[in-house]
Structure 1
Amino acid sequence: MKKIVTLICLALIAVGYAQKKKEIYLFTSFREPATAGLYLAYSEDGYTWKGLEGSFLKPEIGASKIMRDPSIVKGADNTYHLVWTTDWKGGNGFGYASSKDLMHWSAQEYIPVMKNEPEVVNVWAPEIFYDDVKKEYIIIWASTIPFRFEKGQEEEKNNHRMYYVTTKDFKVFSPAKLYYEPGFSVIDCVIVKKGKKEYVLVLKDNTRPMRNIKVAFGKSALGPFGKSSEPFTAHLSEGPTVVKVGNKWLIYYDNYGEKNYKASATSDFIHFEDVSSKISLPEGHKHGTITTISEDVLKGLMDRK
């Protein structure tokens, strides 16, 4: 009898420990004019977000020394890896830094991923994804190379396609290659692993008539991805990021035409429900990505001086 009671007590302790160590959602962000650097917000339910005071990483690299579109992922090594846009126009790379606690960061590095493309106009919104199949990181971004692709109403210097590199250690990178060519100008792509061999690419159709968000499907993190869907957001929306909450995926995005943030919920990336009335974000929140942190990491962020 004592043995049974002991086992029950140990089980209850284990449950209590698991509850105590629950993961907290963390949303990266920046504020215009993008010189202050990395802002963070946290949430326990994935819908209501509270901002953490001040910048957590001031940009020091790139010609403009700005940080836009900070994308973060927690690697298999429990290290947070961050990439960001360093220049609105000009530049052939993106910024990179890593941290264990989001307060103490490695030296910032400029990764010139498009150094072999002398005509490249920009490197926009790098998005980082950890491929748990190949045990490597994939970074995708949008660049314009004038006269490389057919265009619609876009100017030659605004006709984007998606490119990528892979790395296992952020020291050695594969050569940059074309990632997604849908036949139109595309930016702000996010890779989502939906199933064991099912991936979703959430993307912004950046053509002048559209400028809204769509999805495409593939069987690996590197694609190929099929034809994009019809848009599920309104005109003038961009910067999607995706997080799974319960059995639903939430897609947050910048509804910049109306100067607000919105979110859609989906279980299959085919049917979408507008859940914007259920979300709350700090004022000024801009294009970032969502990861998770422990309660201990959150406490450190809140207690920092």
Structure 2
Amino acid sequence: MHISLRRTLAGVTAAALAGALGLAAATTSAVVGAPAAAAAPGDGDAYFFPYFTGESTADAETISFAVSTGNDPTSWQTLNGGEPVLSSTLGTQGLRDPFVIRSGDGSTFYLLATDLKIHGGGNFGDAQETGSRSMMVWESDDLVNWSAQREIELAPENAGNLWAPEAFWDAANQEYVVYWASALYPETLPPEQRDIGDSYQRMMYATTTDFRTFSEPRVWIDERQGAGRGMIDSTIVQVDGLYHRFTKDESDMTVRQESSTDLRRTQGVTSGDGWTMVAERVGVGQPNPWGGTFTAGEGPSVFPSLTDDRWYLIQDQPSYHGGQGYMLFETTDLASGQWTSVPDADLPPSPRHGTVLPITAAEHAALLDAYGGGSGGPGTGWQVIESAHSGLVLDIADQSTTPGALLTQHTRWDGTNQQFRLLDSGNGYYRIQARHSGLVLDVYDWNADNGADIAQWDDLNGTNQQWQVRQNSDGTVTFLNRYSGKALDVWEWSTTPGSRISQYTDNGNATQRWYLHPVG
């Protein structure tokens, strides 16, 4: 038997969706080139994070996007003004647990999601007995423009649900292994007589080459953990031929870590099968960001550091497990099963079960161009910044794209070296990025003195690159550097084009006040 596309609806591209939300169309002039093959651990320049936000509001069971601040997994910027990017018009019209994967040849991204809506009267009992047996699928070449939504009815007819679908590219067999959780019932039992207390969640899998036609589902993990309780939310990473699997064990609602050299090896299905246990109750007892400790969680996502040998794990500790959403853990030894929490990580607001994926600098820039940064800041689109003192605008000298090139003021001509945007660093601070170079404004050489040069530099998110944007009563803003505490200043009251911009003790003078002019 093959499972195939059930129905497709002419969907909304990201551009059209943004338009429907009253935002600029989601298009970009950046040329986004996918790598020749799927990214290996440690490859990439930044991270992409699709997630949902819960079930307490009508729009929470939709998909939101965030990107990391540079390559820093502890600092994130929400996209699309904090509004959802993808919503559902099929099935239950609810979306949870988004998972994104880069294709085996690097040319396409596939995004999978659970078809489940709890808000408005749904409940998790019914959802496991007579819930949707479908997953939702989108695809994209660039993470910006998305295909029509399609619904794939993949779980078997005797399943009560299909939850948290994920996929892994099996290079040896040139196909994707797609896995998810389903509660199974006797085939002769009418759906209206099902009771989740008599069943439990198994992890299932099927294979596909195109996310349209699938092999017959098979049971992957079969471990009853009590009445109505089993195993859900598996996620996989592979390093040096060893698969590391993280799965929620519903006996105590914590995540276990296991390993195997065979991705498709079953557990609890046949005699003698099973993966090697590495650790149980992963992260339990570690400090959480809300003043307590991590006690239980779900929705694990595991991803490599882009700068060193560390690995990161996010686990969702929702309110029904004593938390407020995702929290971050790290380890220097993936195989050890020992994880330390990072409770001061600045994650997006209210993130729930999603995925973190390494992406290129070009893909990162395209997402920011298309969707902008999060809400609540002083404006995140491209802007020309004009001095209230001289009437000249900020300008990277000689249109240089070299780190260390000086910030000056010049006659406005709207060149891209005169266009800047604010990138959220969290806690009320922003980096100021030049459009032509992608570099950010930097108090050069960490000089805290009055008169220090301001230059452009690689985005390291250092405190000498972070600026507080203070709104003034005359409609201007003042930029205060986090490292030095000093204000961006037209040096020596110059009105000459080409004169340098510096920092000086905050005094409220016109040389430290700036008008922001949005540009296209």
Secondary structure of 2:72's counterpart equals coil
Aligned partners of 1:36 and 1:156: how far apart in 2? 28
- 1:37 maps to a residue whose letter is T
Report what 1:300 is aligned to: 366
2:160 alignment partner, one of 111, 121, 125: 121
Q: Does 1:236 align with 2:296?
A: yes
- 1:241 maps to a residue whose letter is S
- 1:255 maps to a residue whose letter is Q
TM-score, normalised to structure 1, is 0.82
Report what 1:61 is aligned to: 90
Kindly indicate whether the alpha-carbon contact (under 8 Å) linking 1:215 and 1:269 is maintained by their aligned counterparts in 2: no
- Structure 2 stretches lacking a partner, 5+ long: 1-42, 118-126, 188-195, 267-273, 285-294, 372-520
Q: 1:263 to 1:96 in 2, by over 3 A?
A: same
Report what 2:341 is aligned to: 275
Kindly indicate whether the alpha-carbon contact (under 8 Å) linking 1:56 and 1:103 is maintained by their aligned counterparts in 2: no
Aligned partners of 1:268 and 1:223: how far apart in 2? 20
Aligned partners of 1:49 and 1:133: how far apart in 2? 35
Give 1:108 deviation, angstroms.
1.2
2:329 alignment partner, one of 261, 264, 272: 264
Runs (4+) off by over 3 Å: 33-36
Give 1:293 deviation, angstroms.
2.2
Q: Bigger shift: 273-282 or 80-89?
A: 273-282
Secondary structure of 1:49's counterpart equals strand
Q: Does 1:110 align with 2:151?
A: yes
Secondary structure of 1:301's counterpart equals helix
Deviations 1:243-297 (A, max 9, x none): 0112122111112222242222231332413232252201111110111222222
Q: 1:183 to 1:216 in 2, by over 3 A?
A: farther
Kindly indicate whether the alpha-carbon contact (under 8 Å) linking 1:147 and 1:156 is maintained by their aligned counterparts in 2: no
Aligned partners of 2:140 and 2:153: how far apart in 1? 21
Map 1:191-202 to 2 at 5 A.
191-196=236-241, 198-202=242-246
Aligned partners of 1:262 and 1:83: how far apart in 2? 22
Q: Does 1:85 align with 2:83?
A: no
Map 1:138-157 to 2 at 5 A.
138-146=177-185, 155-157=197-199
Deviations 1:210-236 (A, max 9, x none): 100111111122224425432123333
Q: Rg bigger for which structure? A: 2
Give 1:194 deviation, angstroms.
2.3
Give 1:177 deviation, angstroms.
0.6
Report what 1:45 is aligned to: 72
Q: Bigger shift: 35-44 or 134-143?
A: 35-44
- 2:298 maps to a residue whose letter is E
Give 1:175 deviation, angstroms.
0.7
Give 1:61 deviation, angstroms.
1.6
Aligned partners of 1:127 and 1:179: how far apart in 2? 13
Give 1:32 deviation, angstroms.
2.8
Aligned partners of 2:262 and 2:110: how far apart in 1? 22
Kindly indicate whether the alpha-carbon contact (under 8 Å) linking 1:35 and 1:58 is maintained by their aligned counterparts in 2: no
Secondary structure of 1:110's counterpart equals strand
- 2:174 maps to a residue whose letter is K
Secondary structure of 2:362's counterpart equals helix
Q: Does 1:99 align with 2:140?
A: yes
Give 1:65 deviation, angstroms.
0.6
Deviations 1:171-213 (A, max 9, x none): 22111111112443100100110222x1111010012xx1001
- 2:310 maps to a residue whose letter is K
Report what 1:220 is aligned to: 262
Secondary structure of 1:27's counterpart equals strand
Report what 1:29 is aligned to: 51
Kindly indicate whether the alpha-carbon contact (under 8 Å) linking 1:141 and 1:162 is maintained by their aligned counterparts in 2: yes
- Structure 1 stretches lacking a partner, 5+ long: 1-20, 149-153
Kindly indicate whether the alpha-carbon contact (under 8 Å) linking 2:282 and 2:339 is maintained by their aligned counterparts in 1: no
Aligned partners of 2:360 and 2:351: how far apart in 1? 22
Report what 1:180 is aligned to: 221
Q: 1:23 to 1:132 in 2, by over 3 A?
A: farther
Aligned partners of 1:47 and 1:138: how far apart in 2? 30
Secondary structure of 1:65's counterpart equals coil
Aligned partners of 2:197 and 2:186: how far apart in 1? 10
TM-score, normalised to structure 2, is 0.50
Aligned partners of 1:211 and 1:300: how far apart in 2? 38
Give 1:110 deviation, angstroms.
0.9
Give 1:36 deviation, angstroms.
5.8
User: Cα RMSD (Å) of the superposition?
Assistant: 2.2
Kindly indicate whether the alpha-carbon contact (under 8 Å) linking 2:325 and 2:351 is maintained by their aligned counterparts in 1: no
Report what 1:3 is aligned to: none
Q: State the identity as a percent.
A: 26
Give 1:22 deviation, angstroms.
5.3
- 1:96 maps to a residue whose letter is V
More RCO (CA 8 Å, sep 6+):
1
- 1:180 maps to a residue whose letter is I
